[in-house]
Amino acid sequence: MIDHVGFAVSDYERAKAFYGRALAPLGYVLIMEVEAHQNASGFPAAGYGVGGKPDFWIGGEGKLEKPLHVAIVAKNRASVEAFHREALAAGGRDNGAPGLRPQYHPNYYGAFVLDPDGHNIEAVCHAPA
């Protein structure tokens, strides 16, 4: 089981604003920030999560070699749709509208958005409609 994930962004403040809005429909909020002088990387970091535990971290600034893919579980299909809508409104780019992805399994309902750095962020619900 993964405890948390973190990745670099090219513009910390822009990414913080994007994720604050895009992750809200999934119940994620900014829980903790680590200042540059407190972080081994020498860059600030922001931790988002649910229930007081940050498990989704962004930080650093600089050139990114490869975008990544992160999927976050949504409680229901409406949350997937709200994530997609808010992420686009926050400046993300559509990379797969909300819908079933039966190639993964019959109830796989997901939406994909590229964040400002090109990272593929997904919200997914595995429950039946």
Q: Would you write out the chain's pLDDT as a tens digit for each of its 129 residues? A: 578 898 989 999 999 999 999 999 999 999 999 988 887 678 899 999 999 999 999 998 766 777 889 999 999 999 999 999 999 999 999 999 999 999 999 999 999 999 999 999 999 999 998
CA distance 1 to 84: 26
Q: Given CA atoms 19, 22, 28, 29 in this order, what sign does their dihedral have?
A: positive
Which CATH number does the domain housing residue 82 bear? 3.10.180.10
Q: Is 101 left (phi over 0), alpha (psi -120 to 50) or beta?
A: beta
Q: Identify the domain containing residue 97 by its residue range.
A: 5-125
CB 115 within 8 A of CB 121: yes
Number of domains in the chain: 1
Q: Please give the model's pTM, rounded to 2 decimal places.
A: 0.87
CA distance 38 to 33: 10
